[in-house]
Homo-oligomer: A and B are copies of this chain.
Protein backbone atom coordinates (compact mmCIF):
# COMPACT_ATOMS: atom_id res chain seq x y z
CA UNK A 1 0.00 0.00 0.00
CA UNK A 2 1.47 3.38 -0.98
CA UNK A 3 2.25 5.71 1.89
CA UNK A 4 0.16 8.87 2.26
CA UNK A 5 1.50 11.75 0.12
CA UNK A 6 2.97 14.67 2.07
CA UNK A 7 2.41 18.28 1.02
CA UNK A 8 5.16 20.55 2.31
CA UNK A 9 4.48 24.26 2.25
CA UNK A 10 5.14 27.56 4.00
CA UNK A 11 1.78 29.30 3.95
CA UNK A 12 2.55 31.53 0.94
CA UNK A 13 -0.27 32.39 -1.49
CA UNK A 14 1.10 29.92 -4.09
CA UNK A 15 1.23 27.29 -1.36
CA UNK A 16 -2.36 27.86 -0.25
CA UNK A 17 -3.71 27.61 -3.80
CA UNK A 18 -1.77 24.39 -4.41
CA UNK A 19 -2.94 23.04 -1.07
CA UNK A 20 -6.60 23.73 -1.74
CA UNK A 21 -6.49 22.11 -5.18
CA UNK A 22 -3.76 19.48 -5.31
CA UNK A 23 -3.02 18.47 -1.72
CA UNK A 24 -6.66 18.06 -0.78
CA UNK A 25 -7.43 16.06 -3.94
CA UNK A 26 -4.47 13.76 -3.20
CA UNK A 27 -5.49 13.28 0.44
CA UNK A 28 -2.00 14.41 1.41
CA UNK A 29 -0.74 15.10 4.91
CA UNK A 30 -0.30 18.88 5.13
CA UNK A 31 3.01 20.05 6.68
CA UNK A 32 3.58 23.79 7.23
CA UNK A 33 7.38 24.05 7.53
CA UNK A 34 7.13 27.47 9.13
CA UNK A 35 5.00 26.06 11.96
CA UNK A 36 6.90 22.77 12.23
CA UNK A 37 10.58 23.61 11.56
CA UNK A 38 11.56 20.25 13.07
CA UNK A 39 10.34 18.68 9.79
CA UNK A 40 12.63 20.73 7.54
CA UNK A 41 15.42 18.15 7.71
CA UNK A 42 12.98 15.36 6.83
CA UNK A 43 11.80 17.33 3.78
CA UNK A 44 15.37 18.09 2.64
CA UNK A 45 16.41 14.45 3.00
CA UNK A 46 13.44 13.53 0.81
CA UNK A 47 14.76 15.91 -1.86
CA UNK A 48 12.53 18.93 -1.35
CA UNK A 49 14.33 22.03 -2.69
CA UNK A 50 11.45 24.53 -2.70
CA UNK A 51 7.87 24.73 -1.50
CA UNK A 52 5.12 23.97 -2.19
CA UNK A 53 6.13 20.39 -2.94
CA UNK A 54 4.43 16.99 -2.86
CA UNK A 55 6.32 13.88 -1.72
CA UNK A 56 4.60 10.87 -3.24
CA UNK A 57 5.81 7.31 -3.73
CA UNK A 58 9.37 8.46 -2.99
CA UNK A 59 9.27 11.11 -5.73
CA UNK A 60 9.25 14.87 -5.06
CA UNK A 61 7.10 17.19 -7.17
CA UNK A 62 7.93 20.89 -6.76
CA UNK A 63 4.84 22.95 -7.67
CA UNK A 64 5.22 26.37 -9.26
CA UNK A 65 7.66 28.19 -6.95
CA UNK A 66 6.72 29.61 -3.58
CA UNK A 67 9.93 29.73 -1.59
CA UNK A 68 13.31 27.99 -1.55
CA UNK A 69 14.08 25.71 1.39
CA UNK A 70 17.12 27.92 2.12
CA UNK A 71 14.67 30.73 2.99
CA UNK A 72 13.80 28.76 6.13
CA UNK A 73 17.33 28.74 7.39
CA UNK A 74 17.92 32.51 7.63
A residues neighboring B (CB under 8 Å)? 5, 17-18, 21-22, 25-26, 54, 56-57, 59-64
A64 contacts B64, C-beta separation under 8 Å: no
Q: Write out the residue numbers on chain B whose beta carbons fall within 8 Å of the beta carbon of A18.
A: 61
Query: How many copies of this chain does one complex carry?
Result: 2
Q: Chain B residues near A26 (CB, 8 Å)?
A: 22, 25-26
Q: How far is the CB of A3 from chain B (nearest CB, A)?
A: 12
Complexed CA–CA distance, A64 and B53 (Å): 9
Q: How close is A64's CB to chain B, nearest CB, in angstroms?
A: 5
A21 CB to closest chain B CB, in angstroms?
A: 5
Who on chain B is nearest to A18 by CB?
B61
